[in-house]
Amino acid sequence: MNVEIFVTDKAGLQKFYEAIIARNETWAPVEKFGKFDFKRVSSLGECDPDSPIATTRSAKPLFFPRSAKIMKYTADSTGTRVKETDEDPFTAKRVILGMKHCDARSLQVLDKVYNWDYIDNDYQKRRQNTVVISTRCDKAETHCFCTSLDYDVENLDAMDVLIVNGTEGKVHITARTEKGDAFLKENLDPASCILHPVSDEELKKQYQAFAASFRLKMNYKEINEKLSKIFDSPEFEDVSANCISCNTCAFVCPTCHCFKISDERVKDTGVRYKSYDSCNNGYFTLMAGGHNPRPVKYRRWRQRALHKFVYYKERFGENLCVGCGKCAVSCPVNISIFEVVNQVASNEVV
Protein backbone atom coordinates (compact mmCIF):
# COMPACT_ATOMS: atom_id res chain seq x y z
CA MET A 1 0.00 0.00 0.00
CA ASN A 2 1.31 3.46 -0.86
CA VAL A 3 0.52 6.12 1.69
CA GLU A 4 1.48 9.72 2.24
CA ILE A 5 4.11 9.75 4.92
CA PHE A 6 4.75 13.03 6.69
CA VAL A 7 8.30 13.07 7.96
CA THR A 8 9.15 15.28 10.89
CA ASP A 9 11.48 15.15 13.89
CA LYS A 10 10.92 14.90 17.66
CA ALA A 11 10.38 18.67 17.95
CA GLY A 12 7.81 18.58 15.12
CA LEU A 13 6.08 15.66 16.81
CA GLN A 14 5.86 17.57 20.10
CA LYS A 15 4.27 20.52 18.24
CA PHE A 16 1.79 18.12 16.61
CA TYR A 17 0.82 16.73 20.02
CA GLU A 18 0.49 20.22 21.48
CA ALA A 19 -1.80 21.28 18.61
CA ILE A 20 -3.95 18.20 19.12
CA ILE A 21 -4.30 18.75 22.86
CA ALA A 22 -5.08 22.45 22.40
CA ARG A 23 -7.84 21.78 19.86
CA ASN A 24 -9.40 18.50 20.95
CA GLU A 25 -10.64 16.57 23.94
CA THR A 26 -7.54 14.39 24.33
CA TRP A 27 -6.81 11.21 26.28
CA ALA A 28 -3.25 9.96 26.64
CA PRO A 29 -1.03 7.73 28.83
CA VAL A 30 -0.35 9.41 32.18
CA GLU A 31 2.26 8.03 34.57
CA LYS A 32 1.57 7.31 38.24
CA PHE A 33 3.99 5.35 40.43
CA GLY A 34 5.77 3.97 37.36
CA LYS A 35 2.59 2.72 35.68
CA PHE A 36 0.68 4.34 32.82
CA ASP A 37 -3.05 4.70 32.30
CA PHE A 38 -5.21 6.66 29.86
CA LYS A 39 -6.43 9.94 31.35
CA ARG A 40 -7.95 13.09 29.92
CA VAL A 41 -5.18 15.67 29.56
CA SER A 42 -5.01 19.40 28.96
CA SER A 43 -1.27 19.78 28.33
CA LEU A 44 1.55 17.70 26.92
CA GLY A 45 3.46 18.01 30.21
CA GLU A 46 0.84 15.81 31.93
CA CYS A 47 1.28 12.79 29.67
CA ASP A 48 3.70 10.71 27.63
CA PRO A 49 2.16 9.62 24.32
CA ASP A 50 5.46 7.94 23.37
CA SER A 51 5.91 6.03 26.61
CA PRO A 52 7.99 2.88 26.00
CA ILE A 53 5.86 1.11 28.65
CA ALA A 54 2.35 0.10 27.64
CA THR A 55 -0.55 1.27 29.81
CA THR A 56 -1.42 -1.22 32.57
CA ARG A 57 -5.04 -1.17 31.50
CA SER A 58 -6.17 -0.88 27.92
CA ALA A 59 -8.20 1.97 26.44
CA LYS A 60 -11.27 -0.31 26.54
CA PRO A 61 -13.05 1.70 29.27
CA LEU A 62 -13.25 4.65 26.85
CA PHE A 63 -15.45 2.52 24.59
CA PHE A 64 -16.90 0.06 27.09
CA PRO A 65 -17.00 1.79 30.51
CA ARG A 66 -16.20 -0.25 33.61
CA SER A 67 -19.57 0.51 35.17
CA ALA A 68 -22.13 2.57 33.26
CA LYS A 69 -25.40 3.84 34.64
CA ILE A 70 -27.87 2.72 31.98
CA MET A 71 -31.08 3.96 33.57
CA LYS A 72 -32.78 5.31 36.67
CA TYR A 73 -36.26 4.20 37.61
CA THR A 74 -38.94 4.46 40.23
CA ALA A 75 -40.86 1.42 41.43
CA ASP A 76 -43.87 1.46 43.74
CA SER A 77 -47.23 -0.26 44.14
CA THR A 78 -48.49 1.44 40.96
CA GLY A 79 -45.70 0.02 38.76
CA THR A 80 -42.18 0.68 37.51
CA ARG A 81 -41.28 3.79 35.52
CA VAL A 82 -38.01 4.67 33.78
CA LYS A 83 -36.92 8.15 34.85
CA GLU A 84 -33.78 8.67 32.80
CA THR A 85 -31.66 6.56 30.51
CA ASP A 86 -27.94 6.34 29.84
CA GLU A 87 -25.93 9.43 30.78
CA ASP A 88 -23.00 8.57 28.55
CA PRO A 89 -19.87 10.53 29.45
CA PHE A 90 -17.98 9.28 26.39
CA THR A 91 -19.91 10.43 23.34
CA ALA A 92 -18.07 13.72 22.73
CA LYS A 93 -15.57 13.92 19.87
CA ARG A 94 -12.14 13.04 21.22
CA VAL A 95 -8.67 11.87 20.37
CA ILE A 96 -6.67 9.10 22.01
CA LEU A 97 -2.91 9.56 21.79
CA GLY A 98 -0.30 6.88 22.41
CA MET A 99 -2.42 3.77 21.93
CA LYS A 100 -0.13 0.83 21.27
CA HIS A 101 -0.86 -1.25 18.18
CA CYS A 102 -2.28 -4.15 20.24
CA ASP A 103 -4.71 -1.83 21.99
CA ALA A 104 -5.81 -0.23 18.71
CA ARG A 105 -6.09 -3.65 17.11
CA SER A 106 -8.35 -4.84 19.95
CA LEU A 107 -10.98 -2.33 18.84
CA GLN A 108 -11.30 -4.17 15.53
CA VAL A 109 -11.88 -7.38 17.51
CA LEU A 110 -14.51 -5.71 19.74
CA ASP A 111 -16.21 -4.13 16.68
CA LYS A 112 -17.18 -7.62 15.54
CA VAL A 113 -19.04 -8.56 18.68
CA TYR A 114 -20.65 -5.11 19.05
CA ASN A 115 -21.91 -5.28 15.44
CA TRP A 116 -23.18 -8.82 15.70
CA ASP A 117 -26.62 -9.91 16.92
CA TYR A 118 -27.19 -6.70 18.85
CA ILE A 119 -25.85 -3.37 17.64
CA ASP A 120 -24.59 -1.46 20.66
CA ASN A 121 -25.32 2.14 19.66
CA ASP A 122 -23.33 3.67 22.53
CA TYR A 123 -20.26 1.71 21.52
CA GLN A 124 -20.74 2.71 17.87
CA LYS A 125 -21.05 6.38 18.81
CA ARG A 126 -17.90 6.25 20.92
CA ARG A 127 -16.00 4.56 18.07
CA GLN A 128 -17.21 7.02 15.45
CA ASN A 129 -16.36 10.02 17.61
CA THR A 130 -12.85 8.88 18.48
CA VAL A 131 -9.65 9.39 16.50
CA VAL A 132 -7.14 6.70 17.47
CA ILE A 133 -3.50 7.76 17.19
CA SER A 134 -1.06 4.93 17.66
CA THR A 135 2.67 5.06 18.21
CA ARG A 136 4.39 1.88 17.14
CA CYS A 137 6.52 0.35 19.89
CA ASP A 138 10.25 0.23 19.24
CA LYS A 139 10.77 -2.80 21.44
CA ALA A 140 8.68 -5.63 22.92
CA GLU A 141 8.08 -5.86 26.67
CA THR A 142 8.52 -9.14 28.58
CA HIS A 143 4.95 -10.44 28.15
CA CYS A 144 4.19 -9.10 24.65
CA PHE A 145 3.38 -11.51 21.83
CA CYS A 146 1.31 -9.36 19.46
CA THR A 147 3.51 -10.18 16.46
CA SER A 148 2.41 -13.82 16.84
CA LEU A 149 -1.25 -12.82 16.54
CA ASP A 150 -2.13 -11.17 13.26
CA TYR A 151 0.04 -8.08 13.71
CA ASP A 152 -0.08 -7.34 10.03
CA VAL A 153 2.32 -4.65 8.94
CA GLU A 154 0.45 -4.32 5.64
CA ASN A 155 -2.88 -3.86 7.33
CA LEU A 156 -2.58 -0.99 9.75
CA ASP A 157 -6.09 0.41 9.59
CA ALA A 158 -6.63 -0.50 13.25
CA MET A 159 -5.56 3.05 14.00
CA ASP A 160 -6.58 6.29 12.28
CA VAL A 161 -3.08 7.77 12.46
CA LEU A 162 0.15 5.83 12.88
CA ILE A 163 3.36 7.34 14.25
CA VAL A 164 6.59 5.43 13.72
CA ASN A 165 10.09 6.34 14.85
CA GLY A 166 12.29 6.09 11.78
CA THR A 167 16.04 6.27 11.38
CA GLU A 168 18.22 9.34 12.18
CA GLY A 169 15.69 10.90 14.56
CA LYS A 170 13.00 11.03 11.89
CA VAL A 171 9.38 10.49 12.83
CA HIS A 172 6.88 9.22 10.27
CA ILE A 173 3.23 10.22 10.58
CA THR A 174 0.68 8.54 8.33
CA ALA A 175 -3.08 8.53 8.08
CA ARG A 176 -4.42 4.98 7.93
CA THR A 177 -8.14 5.75 7.56
CA GLU A 178 -10.22 8.52 5.97
CA LYS A 179 -10.98 9.80 9.46
CA GLY A 180 -7.25 9.94 10.13
CA ASP A 181 -6.64 11.73 6.85
CA ALA A 182 -9.21 14.43 7.67
CA PHE A 183 -7.73 14.72 11.16
CA LEU A 184 -4.19 15.26 9.86
CA LYS A 185 -5.43 17.95 7.47
CA GLU A 186 -6.91 19.82 10.42
CA ASN A 187 -4.18 19.27 12.99
CA LEU A 188 -0.82 18.71 11.32
CA ASP A 189 1.10 21.75 10.13
CA PRO A 190 2.56 20.66 6.79
CA ALA A 191 5.21 23.40 7.13
CA SER A 192 6.78 21.36 9.94
CA CYS A 193 6.95 18.23 7.76
CA ILE A 194 8.29 16.97 4.50
CA LEU A 195 5.69 15.12 2.48
CA HIS A 196 7.21 11.81 1.52
CA PRO A 197 4.81 10.14 -0.95
CA VAL A 198 6.67 6.90 -1.63
CA SER A 199 5.95 3.58 0.07
CA ASP A 200 5.95 1.88 3.46
CA GLU A 201 9.53 0.65 3.04
CA GLU A 202 10.90 2.55 6.01
CA LEU A 203 7.94 1.50 8.15
CA LYS A 204 8.69 -2.10 7.24
CA LYS A 205 12.35 -1.72 8.19
CA GLN A 206 11.41 -0.39 11.61
CA TYR A 207 8.89 -3.20 11.95
CA GLN A 208 11.56 -5.85 11.32
CA ALA A 209 13.75 -4.45 14.12
CA PHE A 210 10.72 -4.34 16.41
CA ALA A 211 9.67 -7.92 15.53
CA ALA A 212 13.18 -9.19 16.30
CA SER A 213 12.89 -7.92 19.90
CA PHE A 214 10.18 -10.43 20.93
CA ARG A 215 10.95 -13.05 23.57
CA LEU A 216 7.57 -14.78 23.14
CA LYS A 217 6.53 -16.35 19.87
CA MET A 218 3.72 -18.78 19.11
CA ASN A 219 2.18 -20.41 16.08
CA TYR A 220 -1.41 -19.44 16.76
CA LYS A 221 -2.84 -21.59 13.97
CA GLU A 222 -1.33 -24.65 15.62
CA ILE A 223 -2.69 -23.49 18.99
CA ASN A 224 -6.18 -22.99 17.48
CA GLU A 225 -6.08 -26.45 15.96
CA LYS A 226 -4.80 -28.24 19.08
CA LEU A 227 -7.05 -26.43 21.56
CA SER A 228 -10.11 -27.28 19.48
CA LYS A 229 -9.48 -30.97 20.30
CA ILE A 230 -8.65 -30.92 24.00
CA PHE A 231 -11.80 -29.96 25.86
CA ASP A 232 -11.18 -32.77 28.39
CA SER A 233 -7.48 -32.13 28.90
CA PRO A 234 -6.38 -32.57 32.55
CA GLU A 235 -3.85 -29.78 31.89
CA PHE A 236 -6.55 -27.18 32.57
CA GLU A 237 -6.48 -28.18 36.25
CA ASP A 238 -2.73 -27.71 36.39
CA VAL A 239 -2.62 -24.33 34.64
CA SER A 240 -5.44 -22.90 36.76
CA ALA A 241 -4.30 -24.32 40.12
CA ASN A 242 -2.97 -20.99 41.44
CA CYS A 243 -5.77 -18.78 40.08
CA ILE A 244 -7.57 -16.88 42.83
CA SER A 245 -10.47 -15.95 40.51
CA CYS A 246 -9.90 -12.25 41.06
CA ASN A 247 -10.93 -11.38 37.45
CA THR A 248 -8.09 -8.88 37.03
CA CYS A 249 -7.03 -10.55 33.78
CA ALA A 250 -10.42 -9.89 32.20
CA PHE A 251 -10.70 -6.34 33.50
CA VAL A 252 -7.34 -5.24 32.07
CA CYS A 253 -7.79 -7.22 28.86
CA PRO A 254 -8.63 -5.05 25.83
CA THR A 255 -10.74 -7.75 24.20
CA CYS A 256 -12.75 -9.25 27.11
CA HIS A 257 -16.25 -7.86 26.84
CA CYS A 258 -18.50 -9.74 29.28
CA PHE A 259 -20.73 -7.64 31.48
CA LYS A 260 -23.47 -7.98 34.05
CA ILE A 261 -26.59 -5.92 34.64
CA SER A 262 -27.31 -5.06 38.25
CA ASP A 263 -29.90 -2.93 40.03
CA GLU A 264 -29.23 -0.83 43.10
CA ARG A 265 -32.45 0.26 44.69
CA VAL A 266 -33.22 2.29 47.79
CA LYS A 267 -36.94 2.41 48.65
CA ASP A 268 -38.77 3.45 45.46
CA THR A 269 -35.81 4.64 43.43
CA GLY A 270 -33.37 2.45 41.58
CA VAL A 271 -30.39 2.66 39.28
CA ARG A 272 -29.47 0.01 36.72
CA TYR A 273 -25.77 -0.50 35.96
CA LYS A 274 -23.92 -2.33 33.19
CA SER A 275 -20.57 -3.38 34.70
CA TYR A 276 -17.60 -5.56 33.76
CA ASP A 277 -17.86 -9.24 34.57
CA SER A 278 -15.60 -12.16 33.85
CA CYS A 279 -15.82 -15.87 33.05
CA ASN A 280 -13.26 -16.40 35.85
CA ASN A 281 -15.87 -15.23 38.33
CA GLY A 282 -17.31 -18.28 40.15
CA TYR A 283 -20.84 -16.87 39.91
CA PHE A 284 -20.62 -15.95 36.23
CA THR A 285 -22.63 -18.96 35.02
CA LEU A 286 -24.76 -19.46 38.12
CA MET A 287 -28.34 -19.92 36.95
CA ALA A 288 -31.53 -18.81 38.66
CA GLY A 289 -32.37 -22.41 39.59
CA GLY A 290 -29.03 -22.81 41.40
CA HIS A 291 -27.16 -24.88 38.78
CA ASN A 292 -23.67 -23.71 37.87
CA PRO A 293 -21.96 -25.49 34.95
CA ARG A 294 -18.58 -23.96 35.87
CA PRO A 295 -18.38 -24.25 39.65
CA VAL A 296 -14.63 -25.00 39.63
CA LYS A 297 -11.86 -22.81 38.36
CA TYR A 298 -10.32 -25.24 35.85
CA ARG A 299 -13.62 -25.18 33.93
CA ARG A 300 -13.64 -21.39 34.01
CA TRP A 301 -10.05 -21.19 32.81
CA ARG A 302 -10.86 -23.71 30.09
CA GLN A 303 -13.68 -21.44 28.96
CA ARG A 304 -11.35 -18.42 28.99
CA ALA A 305 -8.67 -20.14 26.91
CA LEU A 306 -11.07 -21.76 24.46
CA HIS A 307 -13.21 -18.65 24.04
CA LYS A 308 -10.10 -16.68 23.13
CA PHE A 309 -8.44 -19.23 20.86
CA VAL A 310 -11.26 -21.45 19.54
CA TYR A 311 -14.86 -20.21 19.93
CA TYR A 312 -14.37 -16.56 18.96
CA LYS A 313 -12.22 -17.63 16.06
CA GLU A 314 -14.94 -20.02 14.83
CA ARG A 315 -17.58 -17.31 15.02
CA PHE A 316 -15.69 -14.20 13.94
CA GLY A 317 -12.60 -15.51 12.16
CA GLU A 318 -10.01 -14.20 14.59
CA ASN A 319 -8.59 -14.76 18.05
CA LEU A 320 -10.07 -12.96 21.03
CA CYS A 321 -6.55 -12.02 22.06
CA VAL A 322 -4.17 -9.45 20.62
CA GLY A 323 -1.09 -10.61 22.51
CA CYS A 324 -0.70 -7.48 24.62
CA GLY A 325 0.34 -9.43 27.75
CA LYS A 326 -1.60 -7.08 30.07
CA CYS A 327 -3.25 -10.05 31.82
CA ALA A 328 0.13 -11.59 32.66
CA VAL A 329 1.56 -8.25 33.85
CA SER A 330 -1.34 -7.70 36.28
CA CYS A 331 -2.14 -11.24 37.46
CA PRO A 332 -1.36 -11.45 41.20
CA VAL A 333 -0.26 -15.09 40.85
CA ASN A 334 1.69 -14.73 37.59
CA ILE A 335 -0.57 -16.69 35.28
CA SER A 336 0.15 -15.94 31.65
CA ILE A 337 -2.32 -16.81 28.92
CA PHE A 338 0.61 -17.35 26.58
CA GLU A 339 1.95 -20.09 28.88
CA VAL A 340 -1.52 -21.53 29.54
CA VAL A 341 -2.43 -22.11 25.90
CA ASN A 342 1.06 -23.33 25.02
CA GLN A 343 1.15 -25.77 27.94
CA VAL A 344 -2.30 -27.16 27.24
CA ALA A 345 -1.69 -27.39 23.49
CA SER A 346 1.69 -29.05 23.89
CA ASN A 347 0.17 -31.71 26.14
CA GLU A 348 -2.56 -32.43 23.63
CA VAL A 349 -4.49 -35.60 24.48
CA VAL A 350 -4.88 -37.79 21.41
Residues in contact with ligand SF4 by the rule CB under 6 A: 243-249, 252-255, 280, 308, 321-327, 331-333, 335, 337
Nearer to ligand SF4, 180 or 325 (CB): 325
Rounded-to-integer distance, Cα 235 and Cα 223, Å:
14
For residue 259, give Cα distances in angstroms to 16, 111, 255, 307, 310: 37, 16, 12, 15, 21
CB of 254 to ligand SF4, least distance (A): 6
Nearer to ligand SF4, 140 or 249 (CB): 249
Nearer to ligand SF4, 228 or 245 (CB): 245
Rounded-to-integer distance, Cα 299 and Cα 279, Å:
10
Residue 5 main-chain phi, psi, to 5 deg: -110, 120
Calculate ∠ Cα 10-13-19, nearest 5°.
Answer: 145
CB of 57 to ligand SF4, least distance (A): 10
CB 300 within 8 A of CB 283: no
AA identity, residue 53: I
CB of 324 to ligand SF4, least distance (A): 4
CB 211 within 8 A of CB 142: no
CB of 97 to ligand SF4, least distance (A): 21
Contacts of 282 (CB under 8 A, 6+ apart): 245, 292, 294, 295, 297, 300
- What's the distance, CA 246 to chain centroid? 20
Nearer to ligand SF4, 188 or 249 (CB): 249
Nearer to ligand SF4, 29 or 323 (CB): 323
CB of 150 to ligand SF4, least distance (A): 12
CB of 105 to ligand SF4, least distance (A): 9
Nearer to ligand SF4, 21 or 331 (CB): 331
